[in-house]
Amino acid sequence: MYCRDAVGDSAAAVSSSHALLYARQLARLVRTGTKRTLKAARALREICEAYRIDLPELRVRQGRITLGACRLADAVRLARLLGASSPGPDTPDASAVQVLLAQAFSAATGGGAVDVSVRQDAPDAVELGAIDARTARRLIGALRF
């Protein structure tokens, strides 16, 4: 197998051994990125469990960490851990929690964002979107202090 790279009038042939080397390097980069994402997801799951924040749908999908459904009480607890002010003694409605958590998440992660949407089928829960590994590591750092 040969790949040709034409530069001006000259042409350089890349042998199959070079192509194999490039393929191995690419595979190593993919594995490294995947390992980092899985490691961040595992650490995030452990921290949330320690704080008794239930994120049963937390998983890695397509290179991103999907947080999934979150009960309102857990979402409020997460927002408070991220520095949000107390919403009061009663759990606020889903729309208020949506705003509270989105703002606290952004502030705690230095501008990172997570989609927070109100679940129509479950008024006592919000749906948290997916974040990349870098944002997850910033979230982990914010929750560790």
Per residue in 65-78, is it b (16+ CB within 10 Å) or e — as a string? bbbbbbbbebbbbb
* Contact call for residues 65 and 128 (beta carbons, < 8 A): no
The per-residue pLDDT for 52 is 96
One pLDDT digit (tens) per residue for the chain, 145 residues: 444 444 444 444 556 676 777 777 777 766 666 788 999 999 999 999 999 999 999 999 988 999 999 999 999 999 999 999 887 777 788 889 999 999 999 999 998 899 999 988 888 899 999 999 999 999 999 998 6
3-state SS string over 62-130?
Answer: CCEEEEEEEEHHHHHHHHHHCCCCCCCCCCCCHHHHHHHHHHHHHHHCCCCCCCEEECCCCCCEEEEEE
How many residues would you count in the chain?
Answer: 145
At 108, the amino acid letter reads A
The per-residue pLDDT for 30 is 65
The per-residue pLDDT for 31 is 65
The per-residue pLDDT for 121 is 85
- Calpha distance 144→141 (Å, rounded): 5
Residue recorded with tokens 């006592």: 124
* Contact call for residues 53 and 70 (beta carbons, < 8 A): yes
The per-residue pLDDT for 15 is 64
Question: Which one, of 84, 71, 73, lies nearest residue 127 by Cα?
Answer: 71
